[in-house]
Amino acid sequence: MSDSNNNVEIKPDEKHLVLDHNYDGIIELNHPLPSWWSFGFYGGIVFAIGYFIYYQLMGGPSLRQEFDKHYAEVRGKQEEYKKLHGGWDPNQFSAWNNPSGISAGMQVYTDNCLQCHMEGGRGDVGPNLTDDHWINTKGTPETNYTVVYNGSEENGMPAWGEVLTTEEMYQVLAYVQTFKNTFIKDGKAPQGEKVTE
């Protein structure tokens, strides 16, 4: 119900904005939206139409195809990096294959390898490193390096080349070599092929 005692004041520059309806003395003004908002709104509609036409009607790549393309680029760069930095270097191994390097390797082993290969390399989730059987390698530092660096997905071995520094990998390899053919008591049953030197 309107109140005739209410005085509604309309500024002169707003008279052209008054809408032609009145509810209980409420007058509504039609203020236009900011131009930047209108531009964004209608621009979004135009973009959406073009997007739909390109991806739905003109055979634009799907999300999966775009992911595969970018993933292939990432994998390519990773492979390039591995070629540059992932090759076996006997000189680096020799530099760390000494008491101080082996001691540092023991810490690397404890921090990263212990949960799968257990103390002393006896094996648990991972294989026993103290016997004369090897799954993916020949038990040499060079062949072990390849598995440590690249991992082995089928056997659950992560690619430590993406986690450890080059020095840490050579250190842990030097430490692991101290396990070889020690045949620790209560070690995990042999896996893989027997390697004779």
Which sequence spans correspond to the domains of the chain?
8-66, 83-194
Walk along the chain (197 residues) and give the pLDDT tens digit of each residue: 344 445 667 777 777 788 777 777 777 878 788 999 999 999 999 999 999 999 999 989 999 999 999 999 998 887 777 666 668 889 999 999 999 999 999 999 999 999 999 999 999 999 999 999 998 899 999 999 989 988 888 888 999 988 999 899 999 999 999 999 999 999 999 998 988 86
* Topology annotation, domain 83-194: Cytochrome Bc1 Complex; Chain D, domain 2 (1.10.760)
Contacts 24+ apart (CB under 8 A), 177-180: 177/97, 177/141, 177/144, 178/102, 179/120, 179/121, 179/129, 179/130, 180/129, 180/130, 180/139
SS3 content of the chain, % helix, strand, coil (to 5): 55, 10, 35
